[in-house]
Structure 1
Amino acid sequence: MIGPGTTAPRQFTFTTRAYMAVDDATGEPIGLDDVNTRARWLLDLVTAAGAELMSRLWQPVTFDVLAAGRDRQDRRLPVQGHVAAARLGWNPHYRDGVYVPSRVSRVVTAQVMATLRTLAYRDTAITALSERFDPATGRIAPPSAVADWVPLGFARGVRRQLVARSRRIDGAPSARLRITDVQGPPQTSAMARLSAADRQLAQLAVTGDELVLTVKLPTCPAPAGRAQWRSVRVTATIPGHLNGRAVTGWHLPTLALDRKGLLWRCAATELVPACDLGSATVAVGVDWSPSTLGAAAIATQTPDGVVSDYRGFTYDDRGLGTKLARLQAEGQLLQRKSARLTRLAATAPSEVRVRLEEKIAVLNEHRTAVGVKRGKINRELGFHFARQVTDYAEAAGAEMIAVEDLTTLEPRGHGRVNNNRAAQSARRKATAALAHTAAGVGIAVVTVPARGSSAQCPGCDEPLARPGGYHDAWCPGCRVGGNRDQIAGVNLAKRALLGKNKVTRRRGQMPAIRVAEHAPVRRSRDKTSPTPRRPRHRRVRHSLPTATPRMGVTPKQHVPAPQASVWDTVKPAPPHGDAGSRDTRTSHLTATLVADSMRST
């Protein structure tokens, strides 16, 4: 039973890096560069074996077995991927003369099984969509049953694949298609999920504020025996933001390599305040906005009905949205250049082809760097947005936060460029960050239907007018209005409060409300929503050292270049004697003398 003061376990992830490594048998220190090299050999073995197993299992019968969920003895397949693969006889193969421990094979099969189980849903959907696809018109007929419904974005992607296939076969009618008919096996990432193994391959210990990982790594690219696998004890620091949190368990990390070396993607279990959705009376609705990342508003359920002050706040992305749009346009330009040079290189002479391939490699490298930068900005944007909304909900005393279901949200009607820009926004990352941040203070995040949230009045459920343009909303009947996104936030909060007893929970997903119910939202004249804290930003200027003025030369005021970013928060004002300070005010006498000197010249 959930009550005040109760806690619930939840898992979260974080990343860290090692700063020290020693040989587990001898205790001699090992350089981190050597550890990175040996980890690369391990990842190469895992990646090669995973790609070989994936290509061997890329058959329709594989997805038939996964969809049935039964083995040869008609037993239910276990949840653990490596155990299910062992029952089915799906074992990886390695090169001749290479020895790989069985625990490493567990890692390989667990990663491949996770990918295949994810694609089993896509295989079923492609089969259902291909049966309703008309090669002559290139259209997919509407589904006849509710079970055949798929998200519109997913259906459009499958339709493009079916159209491309029909062009290759000259529009001939095809039989029942599978995922193996329209696409090839996916590429596996270079990583090693140590959680699929046991203590014989990896162990994790916590000592104070450090994580000590003991893992077996190969000593050469192609180990020929067990002696060429040696244990290494690697030590990393627990990130500072985890200090003081009620962590009850630390789990084995996933190893990956990036430009800085070996990266640990760790998971841990902690205790957070439990939330009872059935007793929630205050909800915050978050609407994804095309102009900024999102806006929030509050609705309260009282004995007299649902009330709201129709006020909220709009998230300030500090200019990061504009930077993301610029990086997206730059990445698309690099992609077009690379595609054009690739087409030219296909028919160019050998000498020209070599130069074109060098340019293509440079363009691809720049495009990858742009993608990495976009990923970092998206992560920063998502967690900053999550912290702002969580503080807003906590100050209002809300028990849950309602966000739009991203599977039913589709940007359209704003032009090709703006639709693509909205689709590339960090909404999914912001949703995950919001669920993680809000759970730490005992606030649950639920998804609600998005249709009509910005177009219908929360009071009378009638279409809203746009007297001031796209971002303005007004209901003549209820005499309420304001910012379009904040009105949508009231609708989302109302749907969460009305459907709090009909929440659907699925493993690995956030609680969801599938049906949008309506009840009039009465406008409250009292201010129920808190005023969000917004840090002021000011450009800070620093003066140059005072120089001795030369005789007979009119001194000029030195205005140096700014040394602080516009994102820096307010700092103490510099002394009034500084020439570059904005707080410095010129006296009336000084202004008069300057004016007289200008007239005299």
Structure 2
Amino acid sequence: MSKLTATATCTAHGAIVEQTGQVVPQALLAERVAWLAGLARDLAADIVAGRWSAADLDALASGVGLDGRVLPSKGWMALRRLGWDVRPASGVHVCDRVLRCAQEQAARLLRLALHRRAVVAAIVAAWPREPGRRTDAEWAALRALLPDGVGAAEVRNRTRQVRAYRDSHDGVLPADLTEVEGPPACAAQIVLAAGDRQLATLERTSEHTAGLRVKLPLTACPASAKDWAWHLLPIALPPTVPSEAKLCSPTLRLHHGRVRVDLPFQTPIGFAPATGHVIGCGFDWGLNTLLTGTIGHLTAEGRVVTDGRPLAYDASGVSAKLHRLRDQREHLAAKRDRQERLLAGLTPTDPRVAELTPAYEVIAVEHERVCARIRRLNKALAWSAARWALDHALAAGATVIYLEDLATLEARGRRGRANARLSGQVRGQVVAAIRHLAAKHAIAVVTVPARGTSRYCPRCGTGTSALTHCPAPDRLTERGWAWAHCPGCGLSCDRDWAAAERILARGLLGQQATRTDRTTGTRAIRQVVEGNVARARRPRKATRAARRARRTRTDLHPRPAARDRSKNRPTPKRPTRASKTSSRAPDRRTVPAPLPNRGGQRPAGQAPQTTRPPAGRTGLARDPQHRTGFHRVAATPVLPLGQYADGPPRPRPPDLPEILR
């Protein structure tokens, strides 16, 4: 039994001083938390700025302390093994636990810098002739030097960073990350996980509440231990934290004048095996849709069979909204930069400074507001798509989900522009959300190579029969990208659907080559195993008349008896009805109907509707109204169909006789 670690953000609206019983309002609590977070930020910034050099980063990357022992995983202990101590300002009393929290934050920033340093070093070592366009051989040489898990977007951004440095230094490439960028900024937060019970304690008081006991300063510059006091912060746990979860030490920070508590918690989950899967789901990062998937079954003969039902999560409306927000953000950023240039060219005594400063502050606030809105929409979209994908896997009884490996997903041409259009939807967030939700239900998430999934036919081509792409099924002779057609077997389907089937086949057929990363726990298949995919439609249920005939032991079309097979007697006539119904619609008056609240006789015709008709059932299965959470998202409904997973029995009216049920 393993544990799943997640983080929930809570808000502390007030506190109580433990010694005096004084009730601390939210504004005063935010001020005291800001003092503590400011002390930790200043101490961490001193460490990062003082150790931002190639020699110190080499010492941290070596993993060995001054005493020759291996550095521990805890950041503050690793810095102390290296002798990187920090002292507060003179006249400020800070306990050793606060120093630990500052060292932990600094160690995390420096260890993240080691990853960026390795990426920059690999790019410089394999610098291409044309940085904007690498050849296949140059890409292969770069991939061999890059750390595991580096995506194409990170490589592209770091290449632009190195190119800007080279252009500003007369064609000289940087020797280290410290020459390309300065020390990273430290956030105003306090990481309580580095402390112990002498700084903070956390206890769960009920199923939905918890109590955080933390020592906070009473002044901005505490001079002695008397300027520190224990505060009890009641916390309301969100519904995402289950009752059996174990609460861990949180992180305190300030956000818009409110105290935010980033609370990690661990939930016990079952183990998801890497191999032995029979039913799986494959999802493709589509051009027309955000996610396009299919459900497949691995037979005993080693064949992959799908049910012929495509799954689509179309987020075109949200993408359009994100495009408008990004255009607005870029427009505000351009205006903000212009205001900065104007202010930089003026002296402080210039009277125009008083006119430009308020305008610059308004634009900066509006720019930050738009950026926050984009981040919230991206996060909500990512979790909605992940929830939808997991619901389909659960409905089908799948034990594994296969996705395209983002590190190998590098597109060109029309697809490259589509990837730029979908960049705001944060595919990495979708993958992380799918992994998080799938781990709760013991479903494995495995990535497969993305190269060639949209090029070859999933029916007849194992790397030999290439697909032709066209705009629509009735325009096969034109050149396009949305529809796929195979000239060999005649397959005609959506391009993303065909790619999803190949992703599913690569996963189910190559699951013996699944490798698990020991540090992150992510699973991936590096070896490409191709195989054809067959479509077998799910068997349809018997009609109501056939089920009724089986219950009454009759036949819908009985054979005539032996004495009736001869034509010795005439065929009996059908009984005639007294009155014949007509399919003609009744006559209706063309005058409008009176309002319901007013008097008057209603004319003949249909009565006006008082409520809207029920909407179509689309979206998540757990939502009783089957909504997706976005009014601009169209998603395939989650239905447990077919022989892969037996759905719940349909409810029957209790007042009907047994023969009619």
Task: Tell me, yes or no, if the aligned pair for 2:274 and 2:511 is still in contact at 8 Å.
Answer: yes
Instruction: Name 1:486's counterpart in structure 2.
Output: 497
Instruction: Name 2:642's counterpart in structure 1.
Output: none
Paired residues for 1:302-381 under 5 Å? 302-304=299-301, 305-317=303-315, 319-348=317-346, 350-381=350-381
Aligned-residue offset at 1:218: 0.7
Deviations 1:295-343 (A, max 9, x none): 1112211122112234321114483232222111211111122123323
Aligned-residue offset at 1:570: 10
Q: Under a length normalisation based on structure 1, what TM-score does the superposition of the two structures give? A: 0.82
Q: What secondary structure is seen at the aligned counterpart in 2 of 1:43?
A: helix
Deviates more, 1:62-71 or 1:146-155: 146-155
Q: What secondary structure is seen at the aligned counterpart in 1 of 2:526?
A: coil
Instruction: Name 2:194's counterpart in structure 1.
Output: 196
Q: What secondary structure is seen at the aligned counterpart in 2 of 1:470?
A: coil
Partner Cα separation in structure 1 for residue 144 and residue 483 of structure 2: 38
Paired residues for 1:77-92 under 5 Å? 77-92=71-86
Instruction: Name 2:212's counterpart in structure 1.
Output: 213
Deviations 1:188-230 (A, max 9, x none): 2222211111111110001112110000111111111111111
Partner Cα separation in structure 1 for residue 598 and residue 259 of structure 2: 55
- Which of residues 248, 263, 267 is equivalent to 2:264? 267
Letter in 1 for 2:253: A
Aligned-residue offset at 1:113: 0.9
Instruction: Name 2:525's counterpart in structure 1.
Output: 513
Matched, 1:474 2:485: yes
Instruction: Name 1:40's counterpart in structure 2.
Output: 34
Task: Tell me, yes or no, if the aligned pair for 2:126 and 2:142 is still in contact at 8 Å.
Answer: no
Paired residues for 1:97-116 under 5 Å? 97-116=91-110
Letter in 1 for 2:366: H
Instruction: Name 1:256's counterpart in structure 2.
Output: 253
Instruction: Name 2:506's counterpart in structure 1.
Output: 495
Aligned-residue offset at 1:382: 1.6
Partner Cα separation in structure 2 for residue 136 and residue 520 of structure 1: 39
Partner Cα separation in structure 1 for residue 153 and residue 380 of structure 2: 26
Deviates more, 1:55-64 or 1:497-506: 497-506
Partner Cα separation in structure 1 for residue 249 and residue 624 of structure 2: 42
Letter in 1 for 2:23: P
- Provide the aligned C-alpha RMSD in A: 3.2
Instruction: Name 1:425's counterpart in structure 2.
Output: 425
Q: Which runs of 5+ in 2 are unaligned?
A: 473-479, 541-593, 601-607, 626-661
Matched, 1:387 2:387: yes
Partner Cα separation in structure 1 for residue 64 and residue 81 of structure 2: 10
Q: Which of 1 and 2 has greater Rg?
A: 2
Instruction: Name 1:61's counterpart in structure 2.
Output: 55
Q: What secondary structure is seen at the aligned counterpart in 2 of 1:279?
A: coil
Deviations 1:510-554 (A, max 9, x none): 2122222212222324369xxxxxxxxxxxxxxx9977699xxxx
- Mark the CA change 1:57 to 1:454 in structure 2 (over 3 Å): closer, same or farther: same
Aligned-residue offset at 1:380: 1.6
Deviations 1:124-144 (A, max 9, x none): 232232234379988875564
Partner Cα separation in structure 2 for residue 439 and residue 366 of structure 1: 39
Identity %: 30
Aligned-residue offset at 1:179: 0.3
Aligned-residue offset at 1:61: 0.9
Q: What secondary structure is seen at the aligned counterpart in 2 of 1:489?
A: helix
Q: Under a length normalisation based on structure 2, what TM-score does the superposition of the two structures give? A: 0.75
Instruction: Name 2:87's counterpart in structure 1.
Output: 93
Aligned-residue offset at 1:93: 3.4
Instruction: Name 2:535's counterpart in structure 1.
Output: 523
Instruction: Name 1:239's counterpart in structure 2.
Output: 238
Aligned-residue offset at 1:255: 1.1
Paired residues for 1:541-580 under 5 Å? none
Instruction: Name 1:579's counterpart in structure 2.
Output: none
Aligned-residue offset at 1:287: 1.2
Letter in 2 for 1:466: H
Q: What secondary structure is seen at the aligned counterpart in 2 of 1:236?
A: strand
Q: What secondary structure is seen at the aligned counterpart in 1 of 2:42?
A: helix
Task: Tell me, yes or no, if the aligned pair for 2:13 and 2:258 is still in contact at 8 Å.
Answer: no
Matched, 1:292 2:299: no
- Mark the CA change 1:352 to 1:475 in structure 2 (over 3 Å): closer, same or farther: same
Task: Tell me, yes or no, if the aligned pair for 1:133 and 1:139 is still in contact at 8 Å.
Answer: no
Task: Tell me, yes or no, if the aligned pair for 2:322 and 2:424 is still in contact at 8 Å.
Answer: no
Partner Cα separation in structure 1 for residue 221 and residue 34 of structure 2: 12
Letter in 1 for 2:74: Q
- Mark the CA change 1:86 to 1:137 in structure 2 (over 3 Å): closer, same or farther: closer
Partner Cα separation in structure 1 for residue 24 and residue 131 of structure 2: 64
Aligned-residue offset at 1:353: 3.8
Aligned-residue offset at 1:97: 1.0
- Mark the CA change 1:480 to 1:346 in structure 2 (over 3 Å): closer, same or farther: same
Partner Cα separation in structure 2 for residue 200 and residue 545 of structure 1: 72
Aligned-residue offset at 1:260: 5.3
Task: Tell me, yes or no, if the aligned pair for 2:123 and 2:142 is still in contact at 8 Å.
Answer: no
Instruction: Name 2:68's counterpart in structure 1.
Output: 74
- Which of residues 463, 466, 469 is equivalent to 2:466? 463
Partner Cα separation in structure 1 for residue 158 and residue 417 of structure 2: 22
Task: Tell me, yes or no, if the aligned pair for 2:241 and 2:265 is still in contact at 8 Å.
Answer: no
Letter in 2 for 1:490: E
- Mark the CA change 1:406 to 1:136 in structure 2 (over 3 Å): closer, same or farther: closer
Partner Cα separation in structure 1 for residue 507 and residue 30 of structure 2: 48
- Mark the CA change 1:155 to 1:19 in structure 2 (over 3 Å): closer, same or farther: closer
Instruction: Name 2:145's counterpart in structure 1.
Output: 148
Partner Cα separation in structure 1 for residue 5 and residue 74 of structure 2: 18
Instruction: Name 2:448's counterpart in structure 1.
Output: 448
Q: What secondary structure is seen at the aligned counterpart in 2 of 1:170?
A: coil
Deviates more, 1:257-266 or 1:37-46: 257-266
Task: Tell me, yes or no, if the aligned pair for 2:66 and 2:83 is still in contact at 8 Å.
Answer: no
Partner Cα separation in structure 2 for residue 253 and residue 526 of structure 1: 49
- Mark the CA change 1:369 to 1:63 in structure 2 (over 3 Å): closer, same or farther: same
Deviations 1:397-453 (A, max 9, x none): 110111122222235423886543322223111212111222222212122212222
Instruction: Name 2:166's counterpart in structure 1.
Output: 166
Aligned-residue offset at 1:489: 1.4
Aligned-residue offset at 1:87: 0.8
Paired residues for 1:7-46 under 5 Å? 7-46=1-40
Partner Cα separation in structure 2 for residue 326 and residue 383 of structure 1: 21
Instruction: Name 2:127's counterpart in structure 1.
Output: 133
Q: What secondary structure is seen at the aligned counterpart in 2 of 1:278?
A: coil
Q: What secondary structure is seen at the aligned counterpart in 2 of 1:466?
A: strand
Aligned-residue offset at 1:58: 0.4
